[in-house]
Amino acid sequence: MDASDIEKDLAQIHYTEEQILGKLRELATRIEQDYEGKDLLIVGVLKGAVMVMADLARSFTRHVEMDWMAVSSYGSGTKSSGVVRILKDLDTDISNRHVLIVEDIIDTGLTLTWLVSNLQSRGPASVEICTAFRKPDAAAKMALPVKYVGFDLPDEFVVGYGLDYAEKYRNLRCVATLAPHVYS
Give the active site residues: 107
- Interaction with ligand PRP in 39-68: which residues (CB under 6 A)? 45-48
Q: Contact with ligand PRP (CB under 6 A): which of 104, 132, 159, 160? A: 104
* Contact (CB, 8 A) for 107 and 146: no
DSSP 77: S
Tallying the residues shown for the chain, one arrives at 184
Q: Which of 9, 57, 32, 23 is nearest to 134 (CA)?
A: 23
- Alpha carbon distance 146, 160 (integer Å): 22
Q: Residue 54 Cβ, how far from ligand PRP at the closest point, in Å?
A: 14
Q: Is 173 in the site for ligand PRP (CB under 6 A)?
A: no
Instruction: Tell me whether residue 40 or residue 112 sits nearer to ligand PRP (CB atom).
Output: 112
Instruction: Tell me whether residue 19 or residue 73 sits nearer to ligand PRP (CB atom).
Output: 73
Q: Contact with ligand PRP (CB under 6 A): which of 52, 100, 102, 109? A: 109
Q: Is 19 helix (H, G, I), strand (E, B) or coil?
A: helix
